Structure 1
């Protein structure tokens, strides 16, 4: 088996608990059905990912209000109250990251789909973001996972050989894209499972 010398971490859903429900469940008075309809039809994941790829938040908000003026108040909440969607760190994964960093055996970077306008807010909240050798932010690169470009940027910027790297992400779509490029993708579900998954690469924490 090829020796693993690099870890590439996703951030949201792996190390950082980010969830629009923290804002919108209250906005919809606890009505999960209405909230889900809003996410499925108005502030969709595709719409949000467009901003993650560098489209201006203000313009993205205006575009959506033009399409759905009757939902203006709720649309404005998405980025207007974005900071309240940050629920804290996923402590179990932060401990794993800490062990990997302190082992001094690996190059450790992050690759995240994140607006370059909101990422500085996360940097103020989470001290562990300073532990990475570098972080590739989709909003800065004007592309995002699962597109090949952003993986190539990450591999080239940090001189990473795909076969020597483990990429950890909670989105199976992003894992499949990494696997297609020869990167060892690990689909994150829980910190406890991640510890077990890493054992298959002879990494014991």
Structure 2
């Protein structure tokens, strides 16, 4: 668990808990997603690399490229037999987004304790298509989605966008994300936080160590 303390004042007073989305609020397994359509193991690896680890994917998350532009660019690197897979994966990736009901209940309990809950996610405009399926979001007080602000974690500016939009203080925020670079970025601007590895029990322990009442 990663957190910071104020100088000589012990643990910070946490009032706001900020969650990432993919592999926190919902499971997103790109290998499994590719395997649902692509039979060849070799081709699955190609699709994972050329779609989900691509510049085009980052640009979709940043909100500066359309599906059509992303697909055309990705297809330009692929043999023609894989073009239809690229098209389908880009347009339907959220079909394999699996909301986590355990963390949904946990967030509900945090909300009932009086904590304010926010979303900070790298996600394209497709977010608004599957947003209604994420039951946990009913507990949230606000959100920053990368495509809307044309910024990506771990850029400091996206954290500043969250703080400014909701008038939050970094030292009163605890950030939960599955990526170490994103958590480190949050710590560097004064947040507390931890890397989420899929275990709500570990998350509860980390929050309690930071002074969150559960």
TM-score (norm 2): 0.86
In 1, the alpha carbon distance for the partners of 2:89 and 2:201 equals 32
Query: Do the aligned residues in 2 keep the contact of 1:14 with 1:170 (CA within 8 Å)?
Result: yes
Moved more, 151-160 or 12-21: 12-21
Cα offset, 1:163, TM superposition: 1.1
What SS does the corresponding residue of 2:144 show, helix, strand or coil? Answer: strand
Cα distance, 1:188–1:32 mapped onto 2, change above 3 Å: farther
Is 1:58 the equivalent of 2:71?
no
Listed one character per residue, the Cα deviations across residues 1-35 of structure 1 (whole Å, up to 9, x for unaligned) are: 22111111111111111233343112222x54542
In 2, the alpha carbon distance for the partners of 1:108 and 1:81 equals 28
What SS does the corresponding residue of 1:186 show, helix, strand or coil? Answer: strand
Listed one character per residue, the Cα deviations across residues 111-151 of structure 1 (whole Å, up to 9, x for unaligned) are: 011101x1112212123213211110101111111111111
What SS does the corresponding residue of 2:123 show, helix, strand or coil? Answer: coil
Cα offset, 1:62, TM superposition: 1.3
Is 1:101 the equivalent of 2:118?
no
Q: How many residues align?
A: 200
In 1, the alpha carbon distance for the partners of 2:109 and 2:42 equals 41
What SS does the corresponding residue of 2:76 show, helix, strand or coil? Answer: helix
Q: Which residue of 1 aligns with 2:7?
A: none
In 2, the alpha carbon distance for the partners of 1:176 and 1:46 equals 23
Query: Do the aligned residues in 2 keep the contact of 1:4 with 1:166 (CA within 8 Å)?
Result: yes
Cα offset, 1:98, TM superposition: 0.6
In structure 1, the gaps of 5 or more residues are none
Query: Do the aligned residues in 1 keep the contact of 2:177 with 2:183 (CA within 8 Å)?
Result: yes
Candidates 186, 190, 201, aligned match of 2:210:
201
Query: Do the aligned residues in 2 keep the contact of 1:92 with 1:192 (CA within 8 Å)?
Result: no
In 2, the alpha carbon distance for the partners of 1:82 and 1:200 equals 36
Q: How big is the alpha-carbon RMSD for the aligned residues of Structure 1 and Structure 2?
A: 1.7
TM-score (norm 1): 0.89
What SS does the corresponding residue of 1:173 show, helix, strand or coil? Answer: helix
Q: Which residue of 2 aligns with 1:121?
A: 129
Candidates 52, 70, 89, aligned match of 2:99:
89
